[in-house]
Amino acid sequence: MSDAGKKPTAKAAAKEAPAKAAAKTTKPKAEGAATSAFSKPLTPSKELAAVVGATPIPRTEVVKKVWDYIKKHKLQNEANKREILADEKLKAVFGVDKVTMFEMNKYIAKHLH
């Protein structure tokens, strides 16, 4: 009986999978090119700078620093952790007393230039 009519076994397919994955190549990124718009340093407004500092930093770092600030000052609602209760510094950024963690980025974006 020839092997032409047989289906490959799972074991045989597993041996071939790494070879197929290794065959895929990615195009190297140009030196100095930003990986995305998220990693581009942006200057925070004076209101946001009170929380994250005044030096230009990427959007991802801004969000990280805002979360660090929220946790350090215990500004999450204990009953609903998705809700942030703004103190005076965050009220200047958000413009409201409380926001959900999903709304937070919308307000932060308005303070990055």
Q: In the chain, what are the domains?
A: 42-109 (1.10.245.10)
pTM above threshold 0.85: no
Instruction: Give, in degrees to the nearest 5, the angle at Cα 69 between 66 and 75.
Output: 105
Contact of 76 with 5, CB cutoff 8 Å: no
pLDDT tens digits, residue range 64-106?
A: 999 999 999 999 999 999 999 999 999 999 999 999 999 999 9
